[in-house]
Amino acid sequence: MAHTKRKDIIFKGKEKLLRQFRLQQRTELTETTKVLQWLEVTLKPLIPEKVYWQCQVALIEAFTNIVRHAHYNLPSHTPIEIQINLYIHYLEMCVWDWGEPFDLIKYLQSLGPIQSQSLEKEEGRGLYLIHELMDEVEHTRLSQGRNCLVMRKLIEREINPKNH
């Protein structure tokens, strides 16, 4: 399992699952519209706008990377599965694909320091953005021949002083 953390945050799964959402799409870039619509309907009303925007970018980058890279030689009917688990203080987005094994940490290290001009290049930008926008990222090869990208994001809710 490849695992990266940007902050000293450890998600131990002790929180109660509030909601779970699932979607399965075909391996086609045109499906990104459906993913965006699904995300807007399911997640946007439940989390702060900034967190929603960050999760939206990360999920679309992950989906696009799977279509373009992990599934590039697979038929378009090959499924990409997405699951979002919503907890009180964080959310977890899991994306499963059927591509070859992939070492996320090694790949991110190979990018080296990202300069602003590097962001203009399309190659490597998606995983860099995912890593920067999410608080924790894991990539695991599963025994069934699938990969699972797990992206976790803290939900920083505004605290109303009248309630405390």
CATH number reported for the structural domain that contains residue 39 in this entry: 3.30.565.10
Q: How many CA atoms lie within 13 A of 61 on its CB side?
A: 21
161 part of a folded domain: no
Q: Which domain holds residue 36?
A: 18-156
CB 21 within 8 Å of CB 84: yes
Domain count for the chain? 1
Q: What is the pLDDT of residue 12?
A: 63
2 part of a folded domain: no
- Please write down the long-range contacts of 105-108, taking CB distance under 8 Å and 24 or more positions apart: 105/2, 105/3, 105/4, 106/2, 108/4
Exposure of 45 by Cβ count < 10 A (0-12 exposed, 13-18 middle, 19+ buried)?
A: exposed
10 part of a folded domain: no
Q: Could you report the per-residue pLDDT of 40-85, keeping only the tens digit for each?
A: 999 999 999 999 999 999 999 999 999 999 999 999 999 999 999 9
11 part of a folded domain: no
Pick out the chain residues at pLDDT < 70: 1-13, 111-124, 157-164
7 part of a folded domain: no
3 part of a folded domain: no
8 part of a folded domain: no
Q: Which residues have C-beta within 8 Å of that of residue 97, sequence separation ≥ 6?
A: 66, 70, 71, 80, 146, 147, 149
Q: What is the pLDDT of residue 107?
A: 75
Q: What is the pLDDT of residue 125?
A: 72
96 part of a folded domain: yes
